[in-house]
Amino acid sequence: MEPGIGPGADQHITLPWLHWWETGGNLLLSGEERAEQAQAEAEQERDRAAQLAAKLRELGVDPKAVN
């Protein structure tokens, strides 16, 4: 792991922060950042599921009856 300075935010204030990167250059996220990312991904999946369910209903298929 490599330390470095990069943008970060806390309580809606963006400042330079100390971050850690893997040797391959990938930023290691903090626990809070991982939780925010997981929440955003879950929201995207819910939206996608809703879109697919709507498409099934358009096609005359009850999404709750499909297993």
Residue in the structure block whose two tokens are 């009850």: 62
Of the chain, the end-to-end C-alpha distance in Å amounts to 45
Residues forming beta bridges with residue 16, ordered by sequence position: 7
Nearest of 5, 27, 31 to residue 18 by alpha carbon: 5
Please give the model's pTM, rounded to 2 decimal places: 0.65
pLDDT of the chain along its 67 residues, tens only? Answer: 788 887 777 778 888 888 888 888 888 888 888 999 999 999 999 999 999 999 999 999 998 886 6
Tokens of 36: 């925010």
Nearest of 23, 19, 22 to residue 3 by alpha carbon: 19
For the CA atoms of 34, 39, 43, 44, the dihedral, rounded to the nearest 10 degrees, stands at: 0
